[in-house]
Amino acid sequence: MADNAVSADDASAAWAKVKASVASDEGLRNIAQLQKAMNEVRDEVGRDAKPLAPIDWENLKKRSGMPELIEEWRKGLANVKYPAYDGNEVAETAAVFKDLIAQAEKLSAAAKAREAEIDAELASLAEDKAKLSTVTMDEVFEKDPALKEEVEQRIREGKWF
């Protein structure tokens, strides 16, 4: 069997990173289900990939009562030529995963930046809410000069509502 593409330590570290980036309980449940499914696939592939024990032809000849037939099978199996497989799926998949990881890191950085913006906006809103009962129109217009211009324009046009 070929070497594992990803070691168990690398896989554990990768799952830990993924779990750390998820905040919701539902997200964590989905990640756990995905991890379980991936482990089941890995185990199934590993179980099927174990080499078989060599055939004991002499014992089989004795037990079968048909040594000529067993000898024909042995010769037939010995003459089987398996085609060489020069697949590069592992390398292609590794390249695709590398691209996906790069995209995920970009998206993660963008999400963290947006999270910081939203946190700042929430802090500003909380501050504005706290000042709501004591704020003056001058303070509002100082924060938003466009609003001041709009209000003055409406007053000049006589539009009060």
Greatest distance between any 2 Cα atoms in the chain:
113
For residues 22 and 28, is the Cβ–Cβ distance under 8 A?
yes
DSSP character at residue 8: H
- C-alpha span between 59 and 81 (Å, rounded): 25
Per residue in 11-35, pLDDT tens? 888 888 888 888 888 988 998 898 8
**pTM assigned to the model:** 0.39
- C-alpha span between 28 and 19 (Å, rounded): 6
Q: How confident is the model at residue 2 (pLDDT cuts 50, 70, 90)?
A: very low
